Structure 1
């Protein structure tokens, strides 16, 4: 899919597509939404969209996704975790540790977790599962969404308006961040397994 195809889709389906894309990016599979936000900014620079409205729609989609994921975690998260936990190597006692750590770091995770693909998808489910107060969750989710969306949208807008740089290079930002996240996750997993192996 080319940059022209994506911007054409924005021009055709408008802000509804922006909202849905960010919504499913939060509740669905981890993906480089950063590249999408940059492209939204570029679309605004080329006058296919309004910059303020595109930014607000992106923030709204992200927040809506967070709230739906939070509700899912709050109502079905704990029973699901207790059932699947032993199958994925996380029995009840370990889940308790994970949830305790999340509670102590929930504010930072909600605000800055947006910048880490995977974390921003898992965080709202954990918030719901740990029964984090709705008001606190909503407040920090909104703050995080604003701090995450605005810089990437403005980056796309500024680059498209000021420089003649092929958009494909700019949109690679999300893929690079996602790749770094995967590498970091694999590294941590290997390190934990090496620590658990008995010394012969």
Structure 2
């Protein structure tokens, strides 16, 4: 893994930012999040920032903006192409997971856009599914921007904090994000039950 970091430090800083932005954008916009490792690339960019190769602020800005823009493009593709998106050959072998994503979006609505940001497959397909489902774009954008900001900041800063220990963080990040998502879901369910209880008493 140190060899990978050494190769990263061997290219100009602007190339690191460009490649990071393109990969994160394509992961969300082109339905290939299960092929293009956007999270890993963002982590590596954070490592490059910790080693002084690129400015941390620039990495954060590029990752967050690319994530939000990529999701917005995916949403527009789903909105304008509709069900044809769901018949793409690249999704055929993942039909069961695609059905899970559609069910998740139907149950959670806008919050699925935020929570889906933390799971690679959902990150790739939820924006297009939201567009296909005709979720109002302002609502989608609000959850998209919040998710992009939170996810981009956590992943980049994790790489920045890890420095050359990038491999350990990459392995552990999946477990931590799963715990974060689970905690958010529990809190959302608790809030819903409290509101329902108050409405029934009213």
**Quick check: TM above 0.5?**
yes
Number of positions where the alignment pairs a residue of Structure 1 with one of Structure 2: 166
Query: How much has 1:12 moved relative to structure 2?
Result: 5.3
Displacement of 1:32 in angstroms is: 3.9
In the TM superposition, residue 136 of structure 1 has moved relative to its aligned partner by: 0.7
Alignment RMSD, CA only? 3.1
Match of 2:168 in 1: 169
The structure with the larger Rg is: 1
Name structure 2 gaps, 5 residues minimum. Answer: 179-202
Unaligned runs of 5+ in 1: 181-200
1:132 counterpart residue number: 135
Distance 1:17 1:98 in 2: 28
- Contact 1:66/1:141 (<8 A) preserved: yes
- Shift in Å, 1:5: 1.9
**TM-score, length-scaled by structure 2:** 0.69
Cα distance in 1 between the residues matched to 2:159 and 2:47:
5
Decide whether the 8 Å contact of 1:59 with 1:149 is kept in 2: yes
- Cα 1:82–1:172 change in 2 (3 A) is closer
CA pair 98-13 structure 1, distance change in 2 beyond 3 A: closer
For 1:67, which of 72, 76, 79 is the aligned residue?
Answer: 72
Three-state SS of the structure 2 residue aligned to 1:55 is helix
Displacement of 1:14: 3.8
Counterpart among 27, 31, 38 of residue 33 in structure 1: 38
What is the CA distance between 1:147 and its match in structure 2?
1.0
Deviation per CA, 1:121-167, whole angstroms, max 9, x where unpaired? 1100100100111111111101001111111211111222xxxx543
Q: 1:144–1:10: structure 2 CA closer, same or farther, 3 Å change rule?
A: farther
TM superposition shift of 1:100: 7.2
Kindly tell me: are residues 76 and 158 of structure 1, through their superposed partners in 2, closer, same or farther at Cα, counting changes over 3 Å?
same
| Secondary structure of 1:49 counterpart | coil
The answer on whether the counterparts of 1:36 and 1:171 sit within 8 Å (CA) in structure 2 is no
